[in-house]
Structure 1
Amino acid sequence: MKRASLSGDTRRLDLSGHESSDRPVTGVVARYTAGQVVPEHAHRRGHLLYAAEGVLRVEAATGRWLVPPTAAVWLRAGVPHRLVMPVAVEVHGVFIDEHTAKGLPPVDGVFQISALLRALILELTRLDIHAPPSKRAALLGDLFMEELGLQRSLPFHLPWPSDPQIQQVCDALVHDPAHSAAGDAWAATLAMSTKTFHRRFQKSTGLTFGRWRQQMRLMSSMTLLLEGAPITQVALGSGYESHSAYAVAFKKQFGMPPSEFFTSGPRREA
């Protein structure tokens, strides 16, 4: 399997061959250790990021996405973003030229990954970017685009505020999802009224404080689930009072209970 080279201490990949390739669809794969960060950057081509193993966090100015092995993030060309590896992860990236990407959504988001699409991603990342064009490479690219267009979007997006004071709150909550301070406490910390805090929070994120915090907690919990932590432990560590309360919220958000969410490996119940 071909892997792009890591460039120095920035932990960024050399993607020049993909940016300038004559092939409309190309793929690359790399492994990262837990805690690695790829600094903010952008690409001339739109691309799909898929974590075949582990979980990947993608951060942009407009929001954050958490990518488990059942999903992939679509980013349009030119969108600045950085990558964070909460756990060891194998990342597959598929780059799509501007003309070919015209049929894809005009906004960034997360797609479900079917078994066929996963297989196509793996095959595309095995192709040598420097090899001459081939009929097989073209057919793989065409089928990949056809299958990608059939995938449904998933609610793995966490909108990120532009308001610097609201950003402080969100940063603190992401680092401690179980933090229980209510909106009035955060308002006092920021020296503003509770009404002003809630108004500014919703204006900056598009969600109420309570809804945003719940979505953040559920997304953060996916890393613990993937690591195999018992669900009761995940629930309490994510700020929920019980296994059942967490399971209900998880199913409402993602359409299935946490015990069935990941298909890679067995789950452990507490």
Structure 2
Amino acid sequence: MKLSPSDESFKPMARPIVLVKRSLKKGAAIELHQHDWGQLLYAHRGVILVTTATAKYICPAEQAVWLPSHVDHEVLVLTDCELSSGYFEQQQTPKLPNFAQVISISPLLKMLIIEALNIPANYEWQSPAGRHLRLIRDFMTLAPAVETSLPSPTSVKLLYIAQQLNETPEDIKSLEEWGKLVGASARTLSRNFKKETGISYTSWRQRLKVQAAIHLLYRGKSVTEIAFQLDYESPSAFICMFKKNTGITPSNIITRSSL
């Protein structure tokens, strides 16, 4: 189901920082749009997939997507979720990156965001409510980045490979095998993959599997089922890869999102 962005997405901001909340059902899709200000997209229950022109960002409840101003993006809701959107005037975020990024949401930052949803829209900037929102901004600048975004290659051959793998993340073809299909050497594909995405083919495949695993976890699949579906030799090998890339175990993803 296609949805429009919230009204606050396009209204002139009444205050330097504004937080709004939306309850969204699984399968909802917020159409492509951009803002004149920065945005923090955080599903404190459930999981969302944010897509920009250059990458995909999947976020369970322990993570959020930071989007600077004027970045086209769309949102797909992978499970029923409670979505919080924080809007920040540009002068409020000089220490945040000028590119889209997934950040880790600590328990403290989570509680600050949830409590801030009760702040009225006409709060005074110098009031305790204003200080509360500035504290969220300050903690965002300290939040560690989570490198699970999936950058998109740009050349025709690599785009074909990426699209095929997005449809079947468990595919075990080597670069040599892909090279035979698209008419390029494994060395050329490897070099161009790093050049176009900024990460190696191996790292890209791991991030793809992390995103696929998060989606499968929220569909009720067990860690063991996911490990074998994604062609890992054992659940422990899969858990090790997942934790290396996200900082937490697959089971913690589900446990924390239900809190």
1:50 is matched with 42
Task: Give yes or no for contact 2:123–2:130 (8 Å, CA) kept in 1.
Answer: no
- Return the letter of the residue paired with 1:43: H
State which of 69, 72, 77 in structure 1 corresponds to 2:69: 77
Q: Which runs of 5 or more residues in structure 1 are unaligned?
A: 1-8
CA RMSD of aligned residues (A): 2.3
- Return the letter of the residue paired with 1:175: E
2:130 is matched with 138
> How do 1:30-45 residues align onto structure 2 when only pairs under 5 Å count?
30-45=22-37
State which of 214, 231, 239 in structure 2 corresponds to 1:247: 239
1:106 is matched with 98
State which of 158, 162, 181 in structure 2 corresponds to 1:166: 158
- Worse overlay, 232-241 or 50-59: 232-241
Q: Distance in 1 between matches of 2:164 and 2:79?
A: 20
Number of aligned residue pairs: 257
State which of 13, 16, 31 in structure 2 corresponds to 1:24: 16
Q: What is the CA-CA distance between 1:109 and the residue it aligns to?
A: 1.2
Distance 1:60 1:37, change over 3 A: same
1:86 is matched with 78
* Pair 1:147 & 2:139 matched: yes
1:238 is matched with 230
Distance 1:19 1:250, change over 3 A: same
Q: Percent identity?
A: 27
State which of 186, 201, 204 in structure 1 corresponds to 2:196: 204
- Worse overlay, 119-128 or 236-245: 119-128
Distance 1:167 1:36, change over 3 A: farther
- Worse overlay, 136-145 or 36-45: 136-145
2:113 is matched with 121
Distance 1:61 1:132, change over 3 A: same
- Return the letter of the residue paired with 1:138: G
Q: What is the CA-CA distance between 1:198 and the residue it aligns to?
A: 2.3
Distance 1:112 1:140, change over 3 A: same
> How do 1:186-201 residues align onto structure 2 when only pairs under 5 Å count?
186-201=178-193
Q: What is the CA-CA distance between 1:70 and the residue it aligns to?
A: 0.6
What is the TM-score of this pair, normalised by structure 1? 0.85
Q: Distance in 1 between matches of 2:256 and 2:175?
A: 37
